[in-house]
Amino acid sequence: MGHKRKFRVFFLIPPEVQLLDFSGPAHLFYEAKEYGADFETHYLSLDKNLHQLSSAGISMGNLEYFGLHQLNKEDLLFIPGLESHLLLSQQFKEKHSLFFEWLKTQNQTGAKICSVCTGAYLMGMTGILDEKECTTHWKYIEDFKNRFSKAIVLSDRLIVKDGNIYSSAGVSSGIDLALYIIEELLGPVFASKIAKEVVIYSRRTPKDPQLSVYLRYRNHLDNRIHVVQDLLSQNLENKVKVETLAEMVHMSRRNLTRLFKNTTGTTIGDYLNQLRAERATELLSNGSKVSVAAQACGLKSSNQLRALLKKNPEIISKN
């Protein structure tokens, strides 16, 4: 299947680049080309040194100097993340001042500028995120807000679009962002073929949170609670009693209930219901029947599932 529209996709390759930030999205555009889309890819260096070393120690050569290109509104520019000691350095900004001026100019032409993970810092340094909604990796949200106070930073979001500016949260969300843009450009049917080709069955959207329920309550160091969380998430189709969970981590029911709440900030019951609601929403969005989704989540009926989803509207809204 051919597509008449031609697009140029540029990937900035800064020093100490995070490999997956650009290689993940680049592979999706490669697959799109294999399916007939006309994507022309370029890999740009921040300076006239046309070889760069990634954060993983892999060397990349034959890059093109950014200054040789002028973008238009049909073009895309992906800006990946890099090591924090560079991003947070004033010397880095001063050394690459020509690039930041170039980036501001490309923004004025209406080119689609897309950051992945901490690549948003490079956009923030130019001022093009002023009064724009954006996001970055959750670990850097507060620092980002402090550094770029005029940017409208949305936390707990995977993808944010504001006009021609796109931003994504972490390394793997760059893949989601690339697929989202492919869908924008070439339609959902074409994008679904690419998703299937690279085995992305559950595509994420700008409404999805950075951290799902499966991850959101994991920011603690108590291994016993991690074990309980694992058991709950891996056995949604079965009813596991709290007494059984307590025995498996060598605690009393009362102690486990208290420790779980103190450690995670939520109760075992609420946590289990959120797991079920997220799993059911995912199944339903992929075409499963309500009865099948209910059974897969350990519920007795479709009505039970509907009631559960009504009690967790924030999970439905993110899917």
Tell whether the model's pLDDT for residue 3 goes beyond 90: no
Q: Are residues 170 and 247 in the same domain?
A: no
Tell me: do 77 and 140 sit in the same domain.
yes
Q: According to the model, what pLDDT value does residue 318 have? A: 46
148 and 281 part of one domain: no
132 and 276 fall within a common domain? no
Same domain, residue pair 91 and 176: yes
**Residue 219: per-residue pLDDT:** 65
- Does 184 share its domain with 285? no
**Domain of 244?**
213-317
Tell me if the pTM is above 0.85: no
Confidence of residue 270 (pLDDT cuts 50, 70, 90): very high
pLDDT greater than 60 at residue 105: yes
Do 15 and 105 fall within a single domain? Answer: yes
Contacts of 224 (CB under 8 A, 6+ apart): 249, 250, 251, 256, 259
> Residue 211: which of 296, 132, 278, 284 has the closest Cα?
278
Q: 114 in a domain, yes or no?
A: yes
Domain boundary among 197, 224, 254: 197
Residue 163 shares a structural domain with residue 222: no
Residues 188 and 227 in one domain: no
279, part of any domain: yes
Pairing of strands 165-168, 159-162: antiparallel
Residue 57 and residue 135 share a domain = yes
CATH of the domain at 279: 1.10.10.60
**Residue 214: per-residue pLDDT:** 64
Structural domain count of the chain: 2
Q: Which residue, among 150, 147, 81, 153, has the nearest Cα to 114 in the 3D structure? A: 81
Q: Is residue 204 part of a domain?
A: no
CATH number of the structural domain spanning residue 82: 3.40.50.880
What pLDDT digit, counting tens, does each position of 171-198 carry? 788 998 998 899 899 987 788 788 878 8
